[in-house]
Amino acid sequence: MRGLKTYYIKASELRDRFQRAAERGNASRVVSALVKPSCLVIDEVGRCTFDGPCTDLFFDVVDRRYEKEGPNTMILTSNVAPSGWDVFFTGDDTLLCAIGADEVSLAPVKSTTARHPRPLTRASRPPAQPDGATGQLPRGEPRTRRSRPRA
């Protein structure tokens, strides 16, 4: 059995790729390349604006992936609800309606909130400070060279 292919791209990179493809006249090749992977992840939708031709190409990708046989998962991440994406996609309202209503509504929308834009990993966490009274680290905190109590 063959493995499934996943392709990840930021929305701003996708927009730039669409603009270059439109200038060079190879937009169909770029769209076809984005239809091929089993899973396409477009990150940070809503961080850039797609002009009319780029919106058309984005719709072509969504439409062709929807019609594709076999695995055709498409994941869009954004800090903006899909109902607010009309600000970022310019062009014919019919296309926006299709992107926003028909295609996106076929999948569940998962909303999350976070206190920090990127979760802190153990390595990026500030070192734990020892308790002033006992000189001991709080329970469960990793010991690092800088956080050891000095004798």
Half-sphere exposure of residue 24, counting CA atoms within 13 Å on the CB side?
Answer: 11
Residue 107 per-residue DSSP state? S
- Tens digits of residue pLDDT in 35-60: 999 999 999 988 899 998 998 999 89
Contact 77, 51 (CB under 8 A): no
Contact 60, 92 (CB under 8 A): no
Same domain, 26 and 91: yes
* DSSP 3-state of 121: coil
Task: Give how many domains the chain has, as a whole number.
Answer: 2
Same domain, 73 and 145: no
pLDDT over threshold 70, residue 15: yes
Range of the domain at 36: 6-106
Q: Does residue 112 fall inside a structural domain?
A: no
- Tens digits of residue pLDDT in 64-79: 998 988 888 888 888 8
Contact 48, 88 (CB under 8 A): yes
Same domain, 84 and 21: yes
Q: Does residue 113 fall inside a structural domain?
A: no
> What distance in Å separates the CA atoms of residue 129 and residue 132, rounded to the nearest whole number?
9
What does pTM read for this prediction?
0.65
> What distance in Å separates the CA atoms of residue 84 and residue 86, rounded to the nearest whole number?
6
